[in-house]
Chains A and B, each alone.
Chain A
Amino acid sequence: MINELMIIIFAPLLAGVLAWIFDVKGIREGVAIIGAAVPLAYLIQAYQTLASQPSIQYSIVLSGFKFEFILYHLSWVFAMIAGVVGFAAVLGMVSTAKDSYEWLFALMSLTGVYGVFLADDLISFFIFWEIMTFASFMMVLKYNRKASLKYFLLSVLGAYAMLIAIGIIYAKVGAFDFTSVQRVFYQDAMRSVMGSDTLFSRNELLLIFGLFLTAFGVKAGTFPLHVWAPDAYSETNQSYTAMFSGVLSKAGVYGMLVIYILLGTRLMYEFGNIGAAPKFGYVIAFLGGITIIVGGLLAALQEDIRKLFAYSSISQIGYILVGIGVGTALSIEAAIYHAISHALFKGLFFLIVATIIHRTGKTQFKDMGGLAEKMPVTFAMAFVAILSLAGIPPLVGFASKWLIFEAVIHQNMPILGGMLFFGSAIGFVYLIRFTYAVWFGQRPTELDDTKDAPLPLAIAMGILALLNVVFGIAPGIVAGELNKIFGKEIIQGTIWELNLGFGRYNGLFITIWLVVGILIAAVIYFLGAKVRRVPVTDTYQAGNPVTMDYNLTIRRNFFLPLKETLAFWLRMSFDRLYQDIGSWVEDLAETLRHYIYNGNVQAYAWYLAAILIILALWGV
Chain B
Amino acid sequence: MVDWRLFEPLFEFARRKSLWIVAFCTGCGGIEMPPLMTSRYDLERFGMMPNPAPRMADLFLITGYVTPKTLKRIIITYELQPDPKYVMAHGSCPLNGGVYWDAYNAIKHLDKYIPVDVIIAGCMPRPEAVMDGINKIMEMIEKGTADGWKRYKENYEYYRKNQDELFGEGWREKEARRWIPWLMDRKKEE
Q: Which positions in A face B, CB cutoff 8 Å?
A: 527, 529, 538, 540, 542-547, 549-550
Contact = CB atoms under 8 A, between A and B. Distances in A.
Interface stretch (B89-97, B124-132, B143-151, B175-183): B175-183
A545 B2 contact: no
Nearest to A546: B176
A540 B55 contact: yes
Q: Which 3 A-B pairs have the closest CB atoms?
A: A543-B73, A545-B176, A545-B172
A547 B173 contact: yes
B180 A545 contact: no
A549 B182 CA distance: 12
Given A527-B2, A540-B80, A545 B54 contact: no
27 contacts: A527-B2, A529-B82, A538-B80, A540-B53, A540-B54, A540-B55, A540-B77, A542-B73, A543-B72, A543-B73, A543-B77, A544-B73, A544-B175, A544-B176, A545-B72, A545-B76, A545-B172, A545-B173, A545-B175, A546-B176, A547-B176, A547-B180, A549-B177, A549-B180, A550-B176, A550-B180, A550-B183
A75 B64 CA distance: 77
B177 A547 contact: yes
B148 to A, nearest CB: 18
B187 to A, nearest CB: 9
Interface residues of B, number: 19
A424 to B, nearest CB: 31
B38 to A, nearest CB: 24
Contacts, number: 36
A538 to B, nearest CB: 8
| Interface residue SS majority, chain A | loop
Nearest to A534: B80
Nearest to B178: A545
A546 B180 CA distance: 10
A533 to B, nearest CB: 14
Contacts of B36: none
Nearest to B76: A543
Interface in B39-88: 53-55, 72-74, 76-77, 80, 82
Interface string B6-19: 00000000000000
Contacts of B76: 543-545
A542 B73 CA distance: 8
A546 to B, nearest CB: 5
Given A527-B2, A544-B175, A547-B176, 8 more contacts: A538-B80, A542-B73, A543-B73, A544-B76, A545-B76, A545-B175, A547-B177, A550-B183
Contacts of A540: 53-55, 77, 80
Contacts of A545: 72, 76, 172-173, 175-176
A542 B173 CA distance: 16
A253 B64 CA distance: 69
A49 to B, nearest CB: 60
Nearest to B78: A543
B161 to A, nearest CB: 19
A547 B72 CA distance: 15
A169 B172 CA distance: 78
A544 B180 CA distance: 13
A543 B74 contact: yes
A540 B82 CA distance: 13
Nearest to A528: B4
Contacts of B55: 540
B175 to A, nearest CB: 5
Contacts of B77: 540, 543
A549 B73 CA distance: 19
B51 to A, nearest CB: 12
Interface centre among A529, A542, A545 (most CB of B within 10 A): A545
Interface centre among B1, B2, B76, B172 (most CB of A within 10 A): B76
A549 B176 CA distance: 9
Contacts of A547: 173, 176-177, 180
A545 B163 CA distance: 15
